[in-house]
Structure 1
Amino acid sequence: MRLNHLALAVRDIERSRRFYEKYFGFGAGPASEYPDGTVIIRDADRFDLALHPDPDPRKMPDFSHFGFACSDGAAVNQRLDLLAADGVPIVERYDEPRFSSFKCLDPDGYVIEVYWEPA
Structure 2
Amino acid sequence: MHIEHLAIWVRDLEQMRNFYETYFGATANDKYTNSRKGFSSYFLSFPDNGPRLELMQMPGISEQSGDPLTQFMGLTHIAFSVGSETAVDGLTEQFRADGYTIVGEPRRTGDGYYESVVLDPEGNRIEITV
TM range (shorter): 0.7 to 0.9
Once residues 29 and 50 of structure 2 are traced to their aligned partners in structure 1, the CA distance between those partners, rounded to angstroms, is 11
Once residues 54 and 78 of structure 1 are traced to their aligned partners in structure 2, the CA distance between those partners, rounded to angstroms, is 35
Greater mean deviation of Cα atoms: 73-82 or 49-58: 49-58
Helix, strand or coil: the match of 1:113?
A: strand
Instruction: Determine the structure 2 residue equivalent to 1:18.
Output: 18
**TM-score normalised to the size of structure 1?**
0.82
Percent identical: 30
Shift of 1:114: 0.4
Instruction: Determine the structure 2 residue equivalent to 1:75.
Output: 87
> Residue 58 in 1 paired to residue 60 in 2?
no
Q: Where does structure 1 differ by over 3 angstroms across 4 or more consecutive aligned residues?
A: 29-32, 54-57, 96-99
Instruction: Determine the structure 1 residue equivalent to 2:125.
Output: 111
In the alignment, is the contact (CA less than 8 A) between 1:9 and 1:57 conserved in 2? no
Aligned with residue 37 of structure 1, among 35, 40, 50: 40
Unmatched 5+ stretches in structure 1: none
How many residue pairs get aligned? The number is 115
CA RMSD of aligned residues (A): 2.3
Greater mean deviation of Cα atoms: 10-19 or 44-53: 44-53
Unmatched 5+ stretches in structure 2: none
